[in-house]
Amino acid sequence: MPTLDPTLTARLNQLVVRHSQFEAAYAAIDEVVREADLYADKSLLPLIGPSRAGKSRLLETYLDALYPQDLDAQAPRSVRHVTMPTSSSRPRRAALMKLQHALGHPFFAVGDEDAMLIRLVPMLQSLNVKVLLVDELQRCVSPRGQINYDVADLFTVLLDEAKVTIVAAGLENSANVLEANNQLTNRCLQAVRLPRFDWIDPPSRAEFMGLVDAFSESLAPLRLPGCDDEADYFRWFVACGGLVGHLHKIFRKLLVQLEQAKRMKVTLEDLDAAHRAAVYYRGAKLRPFARDFATEDEVTGLTYAARIGERLDPPDAPLPQDSSTRPRGKSGGACRQGAAA
């Protein structure tokens, strides 16, 4: 009985399919990094897209290309990466601590916020940091839409005083952070987007089908059910909602199940089980890999797909307020919530 190829897990873990939107966003980041040292006036490039669209993987891929694993650990790195923290009580302090920790400061938690900021600017300059890749920007917005104004102000300080260019990745509501401060808004470049694939749009549909093929080919000699026409690819689209991260999750679950079954041939029943285990969905779950799934009913399938990965925002979320006019005092200042979307 054939057993699962042990290299498949590593191959899937390292797999990056560079579709056109990925390539466009990669090129935009590279352009910003290359011009970071040319001009005194620094800019912020927003990278916006839904969860599981590949934003974090894009930043990781760019850094891996810039600084390969065999590079000397002591080699200078002018591009640094930091993930915004989640903090409901002192979000600005948490952000300052995370930034210092990312730069290797041994006493990143020492001092008050003013002392941390005073320490951070010359630290960035002494390390010759030119670009910060900031991930999870939506953590500066609470689930009810409250904006962390002090963290937005911090980005302005980094641009103006530390003279670093920023690439900031986040969900759609990250735009509220960038628009919370006029100075920050005026330093933003046009946002680059990593959207869902769109089944209705023929070029996007063709790219999605190529994505499924790339996953299948990278996992050879795994024997997946063939995709003979668009109806077969439609099953995959409905299963992952057009999001590459959910496609990856389905394949991860599939490999676990095949390892337990000790076989390399994949059936629709295997894909159905992997999908049901991998993709979270509220309410009744459609089963696109079931043999009786109506591939011709695109309306039902696309309605289901569009809800995968979507969050139901609470009603009556407040509109963004400019930091120059927001109230100060007991009720003002930083937002008291910075939970992840």
Tell me, yes or no, whether 316 lies in a domain: no
Tell me, yes or no, whether 287 lies in a domain: yes
Tell me how far apart the alpha carbons of residues 94 and 114 are, in angstroms, rounded to a whole number: 13
110 and 217 in a common domain = no
Higher pLDDT, 150 or 247: 247
284 and 170 in a common domain = no
Convert the pLDDT of each residue in 92-148 to its tens digit. Answer: 888 999 999 999 999 898 999 999 999 999 999 999 999 999 999 988 876 666 677
pLDDT > 90: what percent of the chain? 65
Domain end residue (candidates: 176, 193, 210) = 193
Convert the pLDDT of each residue in 325-341 to its tens digit. Answer: 444 333 333 333 333 33
Tell me, yes or no, whether 253 lies in a domain: yes
Tell me, yes or no, whether 82 lies in a domain: yes
Tell me, yes or no, whether 267 lies in a domain: yes
Mean pLDDT for 245-273 is 94
266 and 189 in a common domain = no
The three-state (H, E, C) secondary structure of the chain, written as one string = CCCCCCCHHHHHHHCCCCCHHHHHHHHHHHHHHHCCCCCCCCCEEEEECCCCCCHHHHHHHHHHHHCCCCCCCCCCCCEEEEECCCCCCCHHHHHHHHHHHHCCCCCCCCCCHHHHHHHHHHHHHHCCCCEEEEECHHHHECCCCCECHHHHHHHHHHHHCCCCEEEEEECCCHHHHHCCCHHHHCCECCCEECCCCCCCCHHHHHHHHHHHHHHHHHCCCCECCCCCCHHHHHHHHHHHCCCHHHHHHHHHHHHHHHHHHCCCECCHHHHHHHHHHHCCCCCCCCCCCCCCCCCCCHHHHHHHHHHCCCCCCCCCCCCCCCCCCCCCCCCCCCCCCCCCC
Distances (CA, A) of 59 to 65, 151, 211: 10, 21, 19
179 and 40 in a common domain = yes
Q: What CATH number is given to the structural domain containing 105?
A: 3.40.50.300
Tell me, yes or no, whether 261 lies in a domain: yes
Mean pLDDT for 237-265 is 94
Residue 51 in this model has a pLDDT that exceeds 60: yes
Q: Torsion angle, CA of 178/179/185/190, rounded to 10 degrees?
A: 70
Give the model's pLDDT for residue 206.
96
Tell me, yes or no, whether 333 lies in a domain: no
201 and 83 in a common domain = no
Give the model's pLDDT for residue 273.
96
Domains in the chain, number: 2
Tell me, yes or no, whether 1 lies in a domain: no
Q: Which amino acid, residue 31?
A: E
Half-sphere exposure of 127 (CA within 13 A, CB side): 24
Give the model's pLDDT for residue 87.
63
**Banded model confidence at residue 311, pLDDT cuts 50, 70, 90:** low
227 and 140 in a common domain = no
Give the model's pLDDT for residue 232.
96
Give the model's pLDDT for residue 309.
81
Write out the residue range of the structural domain in which residue 249 sits.
Answer: 196-307
187 and 123 in a common domain = yes
176 and 90 in a common domain = yes
Q: Chain centroid to CA 122: how far?
A: 29
Mean pLDDT for 156-165 is 94
77 and 175 in a common domain = yes
239 and 149 in a common domain = no
32 and 168 in a common domain = yes
Find tokens 């680059």 and name the residue.
192
145 and 97 in a common domain = yes
